[in-house]
Amino acid sequence: MAASKSVGKLVSHVIVDLDGTLLNTDSVANQILKSFLAKLGKKWDSKSAHRIVGRTPLEAAAAVVEDYQLPYSKEEFLSMITPLFADQWCNIRPLPGANRLIKHLRSNGVSMALASNSPKSNIEAKISCHNGWKDSFSAIVGGDEVEKGKPSPDIFLEAARRMNTEPSSCLVIEDSIAGVTAGKAAGMEVIAVPSIPKQVDKFSSASEVVNSLLDLQPEKWGLPPFEDWIEGTLPIEPWYIGGPVIKGFGRGSKVLGIPTANLSAESFSDILSEHTSGVYFGWAALSTRGVYKMVMSIGWNPYFDNTEKTIEPWLLHEFPEDFYGEELRLAIVGYIRPEANFPSLESLIARIHEDGRIAEKALDLPLYAAYRDSPYLTNPLPESNS
């Protein structure tokens, strides 16, 4: 990546939130609450999840009881769902870039603390499911160990105290407004990685706002830089999806002059929830045609202001006709950039073509080219499509 200028004062210690920042807890929470409320004849609205993000467990329980008019006290409801969550701790997947960040800071000797509104026993149970996480943190602070949870600064001040450093030497990484508020109140620099989509404008108090952990640039804060970017791309753990090509919004060919081969986002909602919005690339296989280079966007496409998260692959090949309904398989192997808005249609089109050029060149590198022969692309599509 290009060299970055410092955006704030230099730091020496990092304090990271857990749920929604390192772990995709929201996905599991949505599943549990959806199932629980269905038994009461109520329907969970995932779009109201912002009401519980960054809250203490009791505060989150109170919000759900109030929003859905449940016949329980907040304490009763919390006692009912806590065991359901505990059964799923090890099913919570790390968010993209979480393992990379932890490994990078640990290997470079940067002191890290974990600070969450969750009880410490829950924190330790969750991180025990991820190899090397517990030993990477010199301090772990739970919401039950301080007088007040976030947005009070108590939890971050206690983390700094346990690391034997001044608050001003700490950089906080948070996904919630409550966490950002707490970090700033503690006198720390704060990077916001919003876990609720299309809410960036609400994080103006943060020192910096990034799309995902993949987009962090530690050198801006005087910390060791990542050195794993290759020719404008970031290698990621490959993931695979496939299904029939559907008709999208009709804007790829007609508006942008860039025909995309869309997949049904509804069919992959669980998979998409595990991957941050942005521009990715890899290989695409059409069942009767072959394997092609491709670049794709995941997200809400700010220029068109989508209401749902979509996946829009662009196969870097000219086809003489449409292939709606044909089986498409994707091997996603790298990341290019975060999702972004553009001042004009022309600038959006120019950036998409630049993404295509980056992907076209990168996929010739042995690191990425090896996935062209992936069994997932060359064998019949498994029924699970995942």
Alpha-carbon distance values, 117 to 18, 86, 121, 247, 256 (Å) = 9, 16, 11, 44, 45
List Cβ neighbours of 289 (8 Å cut-off, separation of 6 or more): 319, 323, 326
Q: Which of 19, 154, 208, 355 is catalytic?
A: 19
List Cβ neighbours of 304 (8 Å cut-off, separation of 6 or more): 249, 251
355 has catalytic annotation:
no
End-to-end CA distance of the chain: give it in Å, rounded.
31
Asked if 25 and 122 touch (Cβ cutoff 8 Å), the reply is no
Torsion angle defined by CA atoms of residues 201, 207, 210 and 215, in that order, rounded to the nearest 10 degrees:
170
364 has catalytic annotation:
no
Alpha-carbon distance values, 369 to 86, 291, 292, 326, 381 (Å) = 41, 11, 11, 24, 21
Q: Which of 17, 154, 175, 189 is catalytic?
A: 17
Nearest CA among 379, 374, 274 for reference residue 20: 274
Instruction: Count Cβ atoms within 10 A of the Cβ of residue 252 and give its class: 0-12 exposed, 13-18 middle, 19 or more buried.
Output: middle
Asked if 186 and 207 touch (Cβ cutoff 8 Å), the reply is no
Q: Which of 154, 189, 208, 312 is catalytic?
A: 312
Residues, the chain, total?
386
Q: How far is CA 251 from the centre of its chain?
A: 26
As a whole number of Å, the CA-based R_g of the chain is 22
215 has catalytic annotation:
no
Nearest CA among 16, 14, 19, 13 for reference residue 119: 19
List residues with catalytic annotation. 17, 19, 312
